[in-house]
């Protein structure tokens, strides 16, 4: 695993990039030198491994499941149940880069997001 992380670091990738650290929850739909488009899915009761998103992204909501985002030490970074408004299917939201974290789906439905990461 350290060889993979070393090669990612030399290629400018975050050492716990989502595609390396949590590939079972992220699928690349398109990638080039400008963008990476990910289909992200977290089912009810599922939890991702610790991973990061090094680029800002436009997030398109395919389905919404309540979730909690934690830092690697288990501290809550975001609880979607506390959001003032819940994103609806078909809406788009902006996300800055997200450092190392993991997500637990605490809802009854799949969380599915298409992320258009803008490489800088």
Q: How confident is the prediction along the chain (120 residues), in pLDDT tens digits per residue?
A: 334 444 444 467 899 999 999 999 999 999 999 999 999 999 999 999 999 999 999 999 999 999 999 999 999 999 999 999 999 999 999 999 999 999 999 999 999 999 999 998
Contacts of 73 (CB under 8 A, 6+ apart): none
In this structure, are residues 68 and 104 in contact, taking their beta carbons and an 8 Å threshold? yes
Q: Does pTM surpass 0.85?
A: yes
Which CATH architecture fits 2-118?
A: Sandwich (2.60)
What does the domain layout of the chain look like in residue ranges? 2-118
Tokens 């990638």 belong to residue = 31
Q: Distance between CA atoms of 109 and 100, rounded to whole angstroms?
A: 24
Under DSSP, is residue 47 helix (H, G, I), strand (E, B) or coil?
A: strand
């Amino acid at each position: 695993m350290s060889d993979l992380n070393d090669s990612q670091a030399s290629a400018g990738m975050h050492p716990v990039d989502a595609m390396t650290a949590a590939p079972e929850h992220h699928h690349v739909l398109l990638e080039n030198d400008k963008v990476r488009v990910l289909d992200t899915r977290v089912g009810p009761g599922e939890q991702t491994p610790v991973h990061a998103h090094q680029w800002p992204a436009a997030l398109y909501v395919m389905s919404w499941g309540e979730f909690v985002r934690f830092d690697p030490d288990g501290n809550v970074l975001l609880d979607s149940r506390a959001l003032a408004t819940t994103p609806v299917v078909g809406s788009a939201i902006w996300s800055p880069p997200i450092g190392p974290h993991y997500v637990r789906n605490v809802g009854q439905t799949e969380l599915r997001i298409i992320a258009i990461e803008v490489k800088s």
